[in-house]
Amino acid sequence: MKELVVISGKGGTGKTSLTASFAALAPNAAFADGDVDAADLHLLLAPAVRRREEFRSGHAAVLRADDCVGCGRCAALCRFEAIAPATRPGDGARVFAVDPGACEGCGVCVWNCPVRAIDFPERVCGEWFVSATRFGSLVHARLHPGAENSGKLVSLVREQAREIAKQERRDLVIVDGPPGTGCPVIAALTGASGVLVVTEPTVSGAHDLARVLELTGHFKIPTAVCINKWDLNPEQADGIEAAARAAGATPVGRVRYDKAATRAQRLGQTVVEAGPDSLADEIRAVWKNWIGTVAP
Ligand code: SF4
Ligand code: SF4
């Protein structure tokens, strides 16, 4: 089974729109939305949720006010200033309370409370889902606002998608990866069969692409490059393709700027469904060329 990941140097390059079209073109695939910090593949694939699970990562201090004797030791030790004085409802006693948004889960207060009044449960950071779509199964997730560890959630989403692909005898997993070069991207790339970097013909697009290609080169993953909206700056597009080749990546096609792509998004469709055919053909060519660069 092959696993193909679509990434970009930054958000807003059309990565998800292209990934959704690839989902429509792949005959026997399962899908994963690995862009867990800004998941939106579901907007185009209209998933019907079949399974929903909590995503837990790290721990959080939960202070039991009824057992607290108000010594203040925990607040004095917390380096993140996450514990403050409070009044106990009922008897009005001076106790302490944890701000869950400020708690970093280090555990110092838990181990130092003289009366063991602080619990330390796993932190629920979001949810992940297995859904049915018109193209096949999709694993996607939602991180709670402010929650961290999205790299761990990306790995989980990929792992679940591979598991489902195995169960359903799919020969391919297509992952909509996160943008950038941080931990979530590394989590999306590691062990992938091939990567497509979607970029735009701008100075910042060229700069971001160079950083991403360093990363994929480091992990020795076969890397293809697609320039979206190439006709906005054909010279820059030429330069980006030359730089991609020099970095060992393979340019696999260009997709022109067309308002039809936005119209398709508004309709909740992929471009290959909504058309026009000429634009859909450009995406088909990118897909075919990309698949051709990945070892069987
Ligand atoms: S260390 Fe324990 S008893 Fe003391 S204030 Fe904190 S929670 Fe209350
Ligand atoms: S677990 Fe660490 S960060 Fe959280 S409240 Fe306790 S001491 Fe502060």
Domain ranges of the chain: 2-57+125-293, 61-120
pLDDT band at 275 (very low <50, low <70, confident <90, very high): confident
pLDDT of residue 149: 66
Ligand 1 binding pocket mutation candidate from 113, 116, 118 (most atoms within 8 A of CB): 113
Q: 2-57+125-293 and 61-120: same fold?
A: no
Ligand 2 binding pocket mutation candidate from 106, 119, 123 (most atoms within 8 A of CB): 106
Cβ neighbours of residue 9 closer than 8 Å, sequence gap 6 or more: 179, 180, 181, 197, 199, 204, 205, 207, 208, 209, 211, 212
CATH class of 61-120: alpha beta
Ligand 1 center to residue 147 CA distance, Å? 26
- The residue whose CA has the least distance to atom 8 of ligand 2 is 78
CB of 58 sitting under 6 A from ligand 2: no
Angle formed by the axes of helices 15-25 and 259-266, nearest 10°: 70
What is the architecture, at CATH level 2, of domain 2-57+125-293? Answer: 3-Layer(aba) Sandwich (3.40)
Ligand 2 binding pocket mutation candidate from 80, 96, 118, 148 (most atoms within 8 A of CB): 80
Q: What is the pLDDT of residues 129-151, one digit of tens each?
A: 999 999 999 999 998 887 776 88
Give the count of alpha carbons within 13 A of 252, CB side only.
27
pLDDT band at 42 (very low <50, low <70, confident <90, very high): confident
Q: What is the pLDDT of residues 186-214, one digit of tens each?
A: 999 999 999 999 999 999 999 999 999 99
pTM recorded for the entire structure? 0.87
CB of 212 sitting under 6 A from ligand 2: no
Closest ligand relative to 70 C-alpha:
1
